[in-house]
Structure 1
């Protein structure tokens, strides 16, 4: 006869008993895999902001700084499934969980990977804002969130009615905005670690005015083509990028933005 017993640490004990003597003959134990609930990108409870490529609703691509995904959920853990597309720098995403700002480093390959954002959260509801810290030195494809099995996603507050769009260069993206030791000095040598769009004047202005933001800015870009520092040696300016959703020559073909 076989009996299955479960202990609190998700361990199963399988006890095989001899039918005649009743004594245990074998004991096995193994870890049971935890099942997570998948929150797909097209879930109506998710809140997106920014100029985002939604050609595939189950795999949206976030390109610009300040682009974000918000979610309110009940549960004790949270993961994000993402594929990064890198041009340069070490790429990081930022996020707020219950008001505390954090960040994590993305893989430099194109593979879809699962990143743990939170574990051991308290019981109850939590709010997430996942956002793009950097400009199009990278883009990423979002494949969804994972939360505890049996947890739920809850409605977020309504988005602000006011909308703002910013066109600019690195300062509008918040590049090197965390290099506080270099205020009033030349920018330090870096690998992208100081860039954080949350502290850009663009996003700070939008927050002060309670507005949604589209920050269509790019580090090194100038107003006109063949000037500035973006996309050498055939420099691109705002004049050829302002109406695009995909525009970085290292990351595939360009794609028009639908202003309607």
Structure 2
């Protein structure tokens, strides 16, 4: 069959986007910044390319250790066929070359998190018999709300105590991606390292997850001096929501940002109570935006704020029996699984958690999706 070059805009006529993606921030491009987001297309041919952009605002690309990394998957294979950093403001990157002539599917995933190098696509190019086409959607959609664990912070690191670099983060090897694969689901993620519900790891209160959640990509729009756009929950429904937050709220709740003389039992109790109130309010907001879907709150056995999390879940369940809220305790890292960067989960821990969750949550999915 005759081969020729086909170059097309990265739009819904030629690719299918997944995750929270942001068009119309810059002309002719679609951003896919959240961990695990991206685009997919199919074509008849032997090679595929994409014009990808990063940090186009006149302030240069991210430093080498902070760059966005992209993973490419071909024909549904579980192992990526390519992984590369975005090292130019705009550049054509090979996605797949030398493929046997025939029908192929290419999936492009942002494997690093929203707070570091940004990623956008403006065009795709194939060598083949026709223009690329969007793939069909998967039968389920899962939404994940979280912090560094959900992003995959340092999950492919070989040294447990380095400074964080994005090349050692891979969202495709997180519990969220592996769980979505097991349930034949598309994922959408709102997660950022160090983030929390009441305060972040550094004690700050700006752009916390409850503030980011209603919007498509609030930090991206702010970077370009634009007002944030709300994410269309109705047009993008999900079948289940997972939340894993609370680890980064603990430093503030422990009083480390208070003068020593103010760290009284009453003051610390008040901080924990406020965290619980904020958690309750966020659960209420998620249900109000997502409607009648199961929400699964994940917490680790050794979390410092576990009593407040468990108590808040129980209180919400008692107050709102019409809402399907589930609390799930996760076993801590096991010695044989190793450790990711700065004590985070390794890819082995992510894999084990995904396997355990798949068996647990399948009965909670909507009947029409099983």
SS of alignment partner, residue 216 of structure 2: strand
TM-score w.r.t. the length of structure 1 is 0.73
- Aligned equivalent of 2:208: 237
CA drift at 1:139: 1.9
Relative to structure 1, the CA distance from residue 192 to residue 145 in structure 2 (aligned partners, 3 Å threshold; closer, same or farther) is same
SS at match of 1:144: strand
2:84 is equivalent to residue 104 of structure 1? yes
Match of 1:213 in 2: 187
CA contact (8 A) 1:75 1:152 kept: no
User: 1:48 corresponds to which residue?
Assistant: 17
2:94 alignment partner, SS class = strand
Match of 2:53 in 1: 83
Q: When you count helix as a share of all residues, which structure comes out higher? A: 2
| CA distance in structure 2 between the aligned counterparts of 1:187 and 1:204, rounded to whole angstroms | 25
Contact 1:176 1:187 in 2 (8 A): no
Bigger strand fraction: 1
8 A Cα contact 2:19 2:187, kept in partner:
yes
Residue 228 of structure 1 deviates from its aligned partner by 2.0
| Aligned partners of 2:138 and 2:186 also within 8 Å | yes
Of the three residues 59, 66, 72, the one matched with 1:95 is 72
Residue in 1 that maps onto 2:224: 252
Contact 1:46–1:69 (CA<8 Å) still a contact in 2? yes
Could you tell which deviates more after superposition, 114-123 or 63-72?
A: 114-123
CA contact under 8 A between 1:224 and 1:238: conserved in structure 2?
A: no
**Would the aligned equivalents of 2:20 and 2:217 in 1 still touch at CA under 8 Å?**
no
Deviation at 1:223, TM superposition (A): 1.4
1:174-204 CA-partner distances (Å, limit 9, x unpaired): 121212x35xxx4433421111101111111
Is the 8 Å Cα contact of residues 4 and 129 (structure 2) preserved in structure 1?
no
Moved more, 91-100 or 215-224: 91-100
Q: Aligned to 2:191, what secondary structure does the other structure show?
A: coil
Kept in 2, the 8 Å contact 1:46–1:70? The answer is: yes
Contact in 2 for aligned 1:228/1:235 (Cα 8 Å): no
Mapped contact 1:244–1:257 kept (Cα < 8 A): yes
Show CA shifts across 1:47-96 (max 9, x none): 21101113379421112001021111111221110111255613211111
1:41 shift after superposition: 1.4
Identify the range of structure 1 (246-255 vs 68-77) with the bigger mean alpha-carbon deviation.
Answer: 246-255
Trace 1:138-149 onto structure 2 (pairs within 5 A).
138-148=117-127
**Residue in 1 that maps onto 2:43:** 73
RMSD between superposed Cα atoms in Å: 2.7
The within-5 A match list for 1:22-61 is 36-55=5-24, 58-61=28-31
